[in-house]
Chain A
Amino acid sequence: MNLYDLYLISPPLAVACAGILVILLDLVFQRKGFLPYAAFAGLMVAAALLVVQSIDLADANDLVTDGNVRATGVLAGSLSVDRFSLFFNFLVLAALGLVTLSSVDYVKRMENFRGEYFGLMLFSTTGMMLLASATELITVYISLELVTLPLAALSAFLMTSRSSEAGMKFLIVGAISSATMLYGMALIYGFTGATKLDEIAEVVKSAAVLDTPFGGYALLVGVVLMLAGFGFKISAVPFQMWVPDIYEGAPTPVVAFLSVASKAAAVAVLIRVLFTGFFPIALDWASLITVLAAASMTIGNLAAIGQSNIRRMFGYSTIAHAGYILVGIAAAVRTSGGYSGGPEFVSIGLNSVLFYLAAYVVANLTAFFAIIAISQRTGSDLIEGYGGLVRRAPFLAVALTLALVALIGVPPTSIFIGKLVIFTAAVKSGLVWLAILGVLNSVVSAYYYVRIIRVMFLEEPKEQEGSKTSPVAWFALAVSGIAMIGIGIAPGFILRAAEIAVDALAL
């Protein structure tokens, strides 16, 4: 490892250092109020380093493999620093930054462990950033664990029975899914003799593995088992069982973070592994993704209808949104008409996925920031507690309404454009039925999202109690809300960024 290596991994490293620093500061100082800002400052350093790297990337495709650097074997070929990973690093950092700010009020009710709260968030983020860059299976596994374990601890942070249950469940289901994934990786290593994605791709392409007994099946089983691990992180059916319980029990800012950042990072690694490692057998796994997409959308939306707790409802809603994302991934592989792949379909499909993720991040964060602020006033997460909110807290009610309208996919909001590009990609790839199913699912989702709007606007106000929202939390809400509408009205910038990021995969 030399200095250049250090530069390449400096952004995740900075986040990890910030995590350690926050915990140490917590030990030293009595007044804890500044801790979130210390964490935020650490994020800013990481963001600055990302900006430096993106400037460096102006005339290179990948800082790891380009030019003479390649010969020295930087980072042992386990990480890639390209525009694809930068896109997700920026996304994850933005999400964490906003969640940190909105946690300022929330952590005040905690007696202890404020430093640990932010420290664990930062560690998890380190894992997510590495996950977006990982090009090697063992790195993928370690990064994924680094994402999961801090989140399990954070889920149990409230120390209520609900919260502890959430943490425990997250840990156990997470362990099972990563064990499954590890088994898949072992199979793949056994039959290809490689853990690096580009080497795996060579073997898969050469069809040598297909000649060994059971080789083709083993490869496919390996991919499917890995999908189980990724499916757990993006909360797709049938790996979604943990989602509603954790969304209900864990601290709300943690849920907000979990619902966007960890989903984004998992989608990043899913795309990179499947499309750089296993593209030659795309036809085989793409049909599986199609099925998962259809099931996630439908089950998530139908289950969300009957919920009375808003966080639990959002748990099911996030499952549905994972389904929409998988539609885009399925659309990146053309499965009909006897034709697989082709750069045109890949780029349109993946562009739409990246855009959708960015759109979903801002919309879901807006919704959760409003929910955090509202629950501080009402002390409850039950939907019935939202009665008459528009008269008690008009701006919060309007913000949540806009976010809900966005989540339905109604213009002019970010997710409308997101759904449009996803379904466009699906229609283009010949998955018309999947696009129609997705659109119909959006109609179903309107029913339960509008239900909350109805309660806020139509029912009589309940007693008001609880504390006011601090300016910092307002700021986080405003930033995400403006981004949500802004992306909906002028999506050009993010669309272009997604195109550039996908081009970097050089498929």
Chain B
Amino acid sequence: METGFTGLLTAAVFLPTAGAVSILLLVRGDRNIRVVAAMVALADLVLTLVVFTTFSRDDGAQRFQFIDYFTWIPGETLRANYILGVDGLSAPLVTLTGILGLCAVLASWNIKTRVREHFVWLLILQTAVMGVFTSLDLLLFFLFWELELVPMYMLIAIWGTGRKEYSAMKFLMFTILGSAFMLVAIVAVFLTPEVGTFDMRALSTSGTMLGAGVLLPLSALFWLFFIGFGIKLPVWPLHTWLPDAHTNAPTAASVMLAGVLLKMGGYGLLRINVGMFPGQAHQFAWALVTLGVISVLYGAIVTLRQTDLKRLIAYSSVSHMGLVLVGIGAIGITQGTLTSAGLNGAAMQLFTHGTITGLMFLGAGLVYDKAHTRYIPDLGGLAGRMPLVAAGLLIAGFASLGLPGLSGFVSEVLVFLGAFRAYPLMTALAVLGIVLSAGYILWMMERAFFGVRRERFADITDASLIEALPMAILVITIVGVGIYPAILTDVFEYGLRPIIALIPVAGP
């Protein structure tokens, strides 16, 4: 296994924390705090873009690049290492974290209460997410996974709205429960006699390492991990924390939550459930697809009934993240290229849903800031008053329902392409979910932004420059990926190829 120390990823992971510490101790004045936080987030975005653009896609290149390695816990008892690195699967997600991190900081510009704390928690959160996507040691992975808990809890509970404390606690308890199962599985993997390592590179190269002599059956490990990641994704029936958390979170937290925290679940499924347990993933593909389709349909149907703008977007997330599972289910078939399409679609869905939902929450947050209500029947005719916000939400909505030319189309097509051969009936049902999503998106747009103009919204202003900036960043990403999807699919495919090669019958 490659060792060495490049330093680029370490910088990308810990730069936000360094920013948080300096905000905590050095920076005075709310305005300065905002500016410093934005500079830090911007610098971090630049670092992640460097990672993404210089990541080598050549055939002979290493699978994992930009490795940062040193021995963390020596001795026989634990033997853990500090390993950071990215492959084709994680490099785009790291970039996504950089983009949404900057958007979240900009979206917090109008926070009035406890400004310093807000940005400190936000930046620590970014370190945690960045660490999850880059760590290649299971123990380090778990450490970052848990690090995200307290900042998110605080963001929801302090700056949220409505039943914020209840929602924050619910989020916390669900996540801790999931990671408890995950921890048991991590320990069991480490204790497998032939393994004795937390190194994810070793664990995901030769699928046979976990073949014999495990303490728990491999399928038990698979499901323990699945519960941990499934809660985060979230998959029906473990999704109930999500609507509450999203609805009551402040805009920045919603953006991070929907944009990157849910992606940690999908990333974990691809990296660990598929990458380390390919046999079990193949064996249980039917279950994953079933759960995925239920999530898609259940999420979509419930979304149709929502009247709260943010709650609607939250339930639509349940629906759209179900597609990730459907895409992963493509490993249930024997034809290599279609499997590749399915997994590629699942990974793409992670990225595109991150940008689309981020944009939606930005828009919804602005509507709530200015109109002071998220109750859709009370809104109406806002498009004339706030054209920028309406345009942003419209683009996000169209991308979400899969309009060609926008990023959502690409991932959805890939998912259906991959899964159809394996599970035609199920996939057809999932397509129905997309039809429903067209229904609720258009219904929401029509009610909130068009229709009758209401007198009391007469003096509502449009998004200011600083408010429009994060929306613009996301619109550019969505359109860019929609027009030229190969910028992402190439990288994802490069990263997924070794994982697909492990699947017993699919082959490369």
Which of A54-62, A79-87, A138-146, A442-450 lies on the face that meets chain B?
A442-450
A266 nearest CB across to chain B (Å)? 23
**In contact, B169 and A450 (Cβ under 8 angstroms):** yes
**In contact, B77 and A421 (Cβ under 8 angstroms):** yes
A298 nearest CB across to chain B (Å)? 15
B14 nearest CB across to chain A (Å)? 12
A480 close to chain B: CB less than 8 A: no
B388 close to chain A: CB less than 8 A: no
B395 close to chain A: CB less than 8 A: no
**In contact, B184 and A436 (Cβ under 8 angstroms):** yes
A450-B153 contact, Cβ under 8 Å, with A423-B184, A427-B191, A443-B177:
yes
A457-B158 contact, Cβ under 8 Å, with A411-B142, A440-B180:
yes
Q: Which residue of A lies closest to B142 (CB)?
A: A411
**In contact, B77 and A499 (Cβ under 8 angstroms):** yes
**In contact, A420 and B154 (Cβ under 8 angstroms):** no
Q: What are the residues of chain A within 8 A of B184 when measuring CB–CB?
A: 423, 427, 432, 435-436, 439
B78 close to chain A: CB less than 8 A: yes
Among B157, B173, B187, chain A packs the most CB atoms within 10 A around the CB of B187
Q: What are the residues of chain B within 8 A of A496 when measuring CB–CB?
A: 74-75
A495-B169 contact, Cβ under 8 Å, with A432-B216, A436-B184:
no
Complex interface bits, B460-485 against A, C-beta within 8 A gives 1, otherwise 0: 00000000000000000000000000
**In contact, A417 and B78 (Cβ under 8 angstroms):** yes
**In contact, A499 and B169 (Cβ under 8 angstroms):** no
In the bound complex, CA of A370 to CA of B73 (Å): 29
Q: What are the residues of chain A within 8 A of B190 when measuring CB–CB?
A: 424
**In contact, A443 and B173 (Cβ under 8 angstroms):** yes
A294 nearest CB across to chain B (Å)? 16
In the bound complex, CA of A446 to CA of B149 (Å): 11
A492 close to chain B: CB less than 8 A: yes
In the bound complex, CA of A436 to CA of B165 (Å): 28
A15 close to chain B: CB less than 8 A: no
**In contact, A410 and B187 (Cβ under 8 angstroms):** no
Q: What are the residues of chain B within 8 A of A436 when measuring CB–CB?
A: 184
B147: which of A412, A491, A495 is its contact (CB, 8 Å)?
A: A412
B346 nearest CB across to chain A (Å)? 28
A351 close to chain B: CB less than 8 A: yes
A499-B183 contact, Cβ under 8 Å, with A410-B149, A424-B191:
no
In the bound complex, CA of A447 to CA of B142 (Å): 20
Q: What are the residues of chain B within 8 A of A430 when measuring CB–CB?
A: 215
**In contact, A423 and B187 (Cβ under 8 angstroms):** yes
**In contact, A458 and B187 (Cβ under 8 angstroms):** no
Complex interface bits, A391-427 against B, C-beta within 8 A gives 1, otherwise 0: 0000000000100010010111000110011011001
A410: which of B77, B117, B139, B146 is its contact (CB, 8 Å)?
A: B146
**In contact, A427 and B77 (Cβ under 8 angstroms):** no
B250 nearest CB across to chain A (Å)? 14
* Chain B interface residue count, Cβ-Cβ cutoff 8 angstroms: 35
A290 close to chain B: CB less than 8 A: no
Interface of chain B: mostly helix, strand, loop or mixed? helix
A454 close to chain B: CB less than 8 A: yes
B1 nearest CB across to chain A (Å)? 20
**In contact, B77 and A443 (Cβ under 8 angstroms):** no
B376 nearest CB across to chain A (Å)? 29
A352 close to chain B: CB less than 8 A: yes
A241 nearest CB across to chain B (Å)? 29
Q: What are the residues of chain B within 8 A of A499 when measuring CB–CB?
A: 75-77
**In contact, A420 and B165 (Cβ under 8 angstroms):** no
**In contact, B75 and A458 (Cβ under 8 angstroms):** no
A498 nearest CB across to chain B (Å)? 8
**In contact, B215 and A432 (Cβ under 8 angstroms):** yes
**In contact, B191 and A491 (Cβ under 8 angstroms):** no
Complex interface bits, B166-208 against A, C-beta within 8 A gives 1, otherwise 0: 0001001100110011011001101100000000000000000
B477 nearest CB across to chain A (Å)? 32
Interface residues of B in 138-171 (CB under 8 A from A): 139, 142-143, 146-147, 149-150, 153-154, 157-158, 165, 169
Among A432, A450, A458, chain B packs the most CB atoms within 10 A around the CB of A450
Among A416, A420, A436, chain B packs the most CB atoms within 10 A around the CB of A420
A405-B183 contact, Cβ under 8 Å, with A443-B176, A458-B158:
no
Q: What are the residues of chain B within 8 A of A446 when measuring CB–CB?
A: 172-173, 176
A227 close to chain B: CB less than 8 A: no
Q: What are the residues of chain B within 8 A of A50 when measuring CB–CB?
A: none
Complex interface bits, A365-388 against B, C-beta within 8 A gives 1, otherwise 0: 000000000000000000000000
Q: What are the residues of chain A within 8 A of B78 when measuring CB–CB?
A: 417, 420-421, 424, 491, 495
Interface residues of B in 40-98 (CB under 8 A from A): 72-78
Q: What are the residues of chain A within 8 A of B149 when measuring CB–CB?
A: 410
Q: Which residue of B lies closest to A450 (CB)?
A: B172
B474 nearest CB across to chain A (Å)? 31
In the bound complex, CA of A450 to CA of B117 (Å): 18
Q: What are the residues of chain B within 8 A of A492 when measuring CB–CB?
A: 72-75
A348 close to chain B: CB less than 8 A: yes
Q: What are the residues of chain A within 8 A of B188 when measuring CB–CB?
A: 427, 432
Q: What are the residues of chain A within 8 A of B177 when measuring CB–CB?
A: 443
B18 nearest CB across to chain A (Å)? 16
In the bound complex, CA of A371 to CA of B144 (Å): 28
**In contact, B215 and A427 (Cβ under 8 angstroms):** yes
Q: What are the residues of chain A within 8 A of B139 when measuring CB–CB?
A: 420
A495-B75 contact, Cβ under 8 Å, with A427-B215, A457-B154:
yes
A424-B173 contact, Cβ under 8 Å, with A351-B77, A411-B146, A491-B78:
no
B80 nearest CB across to chain A (Å)? 9
A162 close to chain B: CB less than 8 A: no
Q: What are the residues of chain B within 8 A of A427 when measuring CB–CB?
A: 184, 187-188, 191, 215
Q: What are the residues of chain A within 8 A of B150 when measuring CB–CB?
A: 401, 405, 410, 453
A205 close to chain B: CB less than 8 A: no
A428 close to chain B: CB less than 8 A: yes
B246 nearest CB across to chain A (Å)? 19
**In contact, A412 and B143 (Cβ under 8 angstroms):** yes
Q: What are the residues of chain B within 8 A of A495 when measuring CB–CB?
A: 73, 75, 77-78
In the bound complex, CA of A408 to CA of B150 (Å): 12
**In contact, B165 and A454 (Cβ under 8 angstroms):** yes
**In contact, A428 and B176 (Cβ under 8 angstroms):** no
**In contact, B157 and A411 (Cβ under 8 angstroms):** no
**In contact, B157 and A458 (Cβ under 8 angstroms):** yes
Complex interface bits, A442-485 against B, C-beta within 8 A gives 1, otherwise 0: 11001100100110011000000000000000000000000000
In the bound complex, CA of A443 to CA of B227 (Å): 15
In the bound complex, CA of A457 to CA of B146 (Å): 20
**In contact, B183 and A420 (Cβ under 8 angstroms):** yes
Q: What are the residues of chain B within 8 A of A352 when measuring CB–CB?
A: 77
In the bound complex, CA of A423 to CA of B188 (Å): 10
**In contact, B157 and A447 (Cβ under 8 angstroms):** no
B300 nearest CB across to chain A (Å)? 31
Q: Which residues of A contact B (CB under 8 A)?
A: 348, 351-352, 355, 390, 401, 405, 408, 410-412, 416-417, 420-421, 423-424, 427-428, 430, 432, 435-436, 439-440, 442-443, 446-447, 450, 453-454, 457-458, 490-492, 495-496, 499
A-B contact pairs, 16 of them (CB 8 A): A408-B176, A411-B142, A411-B143, A411-B146, A416-B146, A423-B183, A427-B188, A427-B191, A432-B216, A439-B180, A439-B181, A439-B183, A454-B169, A491-B73, A495-B78, A499-B76
Q: Which residues of B contact A (CB under 8 A)?
A: 72-78, 117, 139, 142-143, 146-147, 149-150, 153-154, 157-158, 165, 169, 172-173, 176-177, 180-181, 183-184, 187-188, 190-191, 215-216
Known: A405-B150, A432-B188, A495-B75. 20 other contacts (CB 8 A): A352-B77, A410-B150, A411-B146, A416-B146, A417-B78, A420-B187, A421-B77, A423-B183, A423-B187, A424-B190, A432-B215, A432-B216, A436-B184, A439-B183, A439-B184, A453-B150, A457-B157, A491-B73, A495-B77, A499-B77
10 cross-chain pairs, A with B, having the tightest CB-CB distances, nearest first:
A411-B143, A439-B180, A410-B146, A424-B187, A492-B74, A446-B176, A443-B176, A411-B146, A443-B180, A443-B177
